[in-house]
Structure 1
């Protein structure tokens, strides 16, 4: 690889994604299911080499973010406490047997009170701020564990995590609601109804959830409508709890279109416009910022 060549890696619990980079330009990309949750500590280097080994022509810097830096990951990259810059601490070097690898793992962020943590999202936030200098407001990162982060003067001031995505998955796959939901399809009107109900009476969310099953049994609800209504109920309850973050603030959504779209619709219903940014693009931009800093200090 030439002197500007390096590798960006997003390593989560269930996935591993890598990009061969020249500066900020993507030359190649690859992905696998070798997430942190499938590996022991000795398995990380072989999993990475299986994915990117053909890209290596000599000693190469690899910048990695996500659960690879957790206590169960390749190397523990300690959390930095907010308020701080999203990429404040220096990356932690992981031990590698292959001399072609120089793996650097980006630390996550922690919030002592109320207790909260993030790994991976801080890199997406850094990427967004690199692309939008001077931006202040709130960034929402929808996903399995949705993050709302307050950004000011280039720092993450505070953040809050909601298990909305995991709740949806658990209810859809492992509760009585699994008999009433479709795996695909969408009903925009049903989503809007669920959103309104979730925001109006969040304290009744448990009753509203069983009502989805009862309505199906008594009236034969369309599975795609039930799916959308469930999503609306859960996101509505989340928006009520997250109101101190988004109310009166400039808001950005970072993620894949399929996860940002319902949040954009929900925020539009509250007359809150949101800037949309692609999650993969932002993680690469954040890793590029970390690589630039690494080169400056080398």
Structure 2
């Protein structure tokens, strides 16, 4: 760490790289600035990508240590970092972190988590664990057992027991939606601006039926356009409702049902999952993923200097 306490924290995932310029003083970290760049997907040169993004900060403040989480530490990222097996709390993160130097700058990449999920299959996460521990740090009287949902490209369903991440389950809802938009005849990509909530609610209705099967209903995304005159925004809302509704229904089966969920994500995707939860009589507690991420990185990184 620099003598003046300047450092960079980064949440470098599959889709985005969010960097935070911070200052350590009076036993706490303060975020001074933030920038956003490319994620690890289709990013052939992470080193150049990082330095191009952070160059103005180094020019202004000089060399400083960089702490990173996310798929930057995976086999599609910059450096491969080991996983911490569940059950676990946040404490092994600093111990098992990978440290290296690039272009005269010291880097620390924190590990992800691994588990054998309730289906007996291997599962993993990188980045979300920091959001989880960041959120848990804000709880004054946490319940002994709670379910967390972190929606996104790869939605994570997490069982936390007595402050430990016991196990989790991944559903690639965001990635599946993107693949269908880009590489199928079902629909074209739709922006948030073009979103159609009525179509989304229709998809939720259909997914809630006990006999509803995602594989047997998903093609209606296209047939409702060619037969019923749905526009692309309506079809996009319908498909998203089907996918998220099926995700919620499946998670309730996997976790032996539940009536309350902690939802950690961005505002738009949080609102979609919140609607799906309330549609299924599940109450929610909402937390911003950015707030959880920064609290989590600060919690782990601060242990190095406290």
* TM-score, length of structure 1 as denominator length: 0.89
Q: Choose from 188, 194, 197 the match for 1:185.
A: 194
The reply on whether 1:293 has 2:295 as its aligned counterpart is: no
Q: Which shifted more, 119-128 or 65-74?
A: 65-74
For structure 1, list consecutive stretches of 5 or more residues without a partner in the other structure: none
The reply on whether 1:6 has 2:7 as its aligned counterpart is: yes
- Note if contact 2:8-2:67 (Cα within 8 Å) is conserved in structure 1: yes
Match of 1:32 in 2: 37
Write the mapping of 1:214-229 to structure 2, written as runs, cut at 5 A: 214-229=223-238
Which structure: greater helix fraction? 1
Match of 2:101 in 1: 96
For structure 2, list consecutive stretches of 5 or more residues without a partner in the other structure: none
Structure 1 residue 215: deviation in Å? Answer: 2.3
SS at match of 1:225: helix
Distance in 2 between residues matched to 1:246 and 1:32, nearest whole Å: 39
Structure 1's 74 and 94: CA in aligned 2 closer, same or farther, altered over 3 A? farther
**Pairwise CA RMSD of aligned residues?**
2.2
Structure 1's 187 and 46: CA in aligned 2 closer, same or farther, altered over 3 A? closer
SS at match of 2:31: strand
Structure 1's 246 and 139: CA in aligned 2 closer, same or farther, altered over 3 A? farther
- Note if contact 1:24-1:288 (Cα within 8 Å) is conserved in structure 2: yes
Q: Which shifted more, 128-137 or 105-114?
A: 128-137
Structure 1 residue 45: deviation in Å? Answer: 3.4
SS at match of 1:24: strand
Distance in 2 between residues matched to 1:129 and 1:48, nearest whole Å: 29
Structure 1's 146 and 85: CA in aligned 2 closer, same or farther, altered over 3 A? same
Q: Choose from 85, 89, 103 the match for 1:85.
A: 89
Match of 1:126 in 2: 133
Match of 1:148 in 2: 157
- Note if contact 2:9-2:19 (Cα within 8 Å) is conserved in structure 1: yes
Q: Which shifted more, 9-18 or 141-150?
A: 9-18
Distance in 1 between residues matched to 2:190 and 2:54, nearest whole Å: 37
- Note if contact 2:204-2:242 (Cα within 8 Å) is conserved in structure 1: yes
* TM-score, length of structure 2 as denominator length: 0.86
Deviations 1:104-160 (CA, angstroms, capped at 9, x unpaired): 111000113321100110011111111224434111111111000011221111100
Match of 1:194 in 2: 203
Distance in 2 between residues matched to 1:214 and 1:139, nearest whole Å: 35
Structure 1 residue 98: deviation in Å? Answer: 3.1
- Note if contact 1:87-1:122 (Cα within 8 Å) is conserved in structure 2: no
Q: Choose from 50, 53, 68 the match for 1:51.
A: 53
Structure 1 residue 86: deviation in Å? Answer: 4.0
- Note if contact 1:87-1:106 (Cα within 8 Å) is conserved in structure 2: no
